[in-house]
Amino acid sequence: MMVPQLPLLTIKRHTKGFTLLEMMVVLSIIAMMTLQLGLSYRPIEANQDVIFEDEYKLAQIKAIATTEKQILETSQSNVSVLSFNQLGNVNMAQTISFDGFKIVVQLGMGRYEKR
């Protein structure tokens, strides 16, 4: 014979929701992912050196390929105009200063050094 359980002694467990610990783990993972995305973001101004290097190389290659003088205009530095002759050489050696770094353009082959 089976003994019926008393309704006062039974404990109902609600398993439809999340525990506080599970919620905290999920929120901390989301916070870490959001923080990682925020730290990896670099504004366009921080990429001035990469943009200038690409434009410099493109103007130099165009001068060699077309055997025509090419002019590179820069607005974010102390030098406003660089010109390349038909061989890809610059018109004069100079130091181009940006915010936080310098590019030294050498006379001759048109090479540059980033500092």
Domain boundaries of the chain, sorted by first residue: 46-114
Mean pLDDT of the chain: 77
What pLDDT, on a 0 to 100 scale, did the predictor assign at position 29? 95
pLDDT at residue 42 greater than cutoff 70: no
pLDDT at residue 9, rounded to an integer: 59
How far separated are the first and last CA of the chain, in Å rounded? 91
What are the angstrom distances between the C-alpha of 95 and each of 9, 32, 76, 112? 86, 42, 14, 9
Q: Give the span between the Cα atoms of 71 and 51, in whole angstroms.
A: 16
Q: pTM of the entire structure?
A: 0.54
When pLDDT is averaged across residues 27-55 and rounded to a whole number, the result is 79
Query: Could you give the C-alpha distances from 42 to 45, 48, 51, 98, in angstroms and in order?
Result: 8, 11, 13, 17
- Predicted confidence (pLDDT) per residue in 46-85, tens digit: 677 778 788 888 888 898 898 888 888 877 667 778 888 8
SS3 call for 102? strand
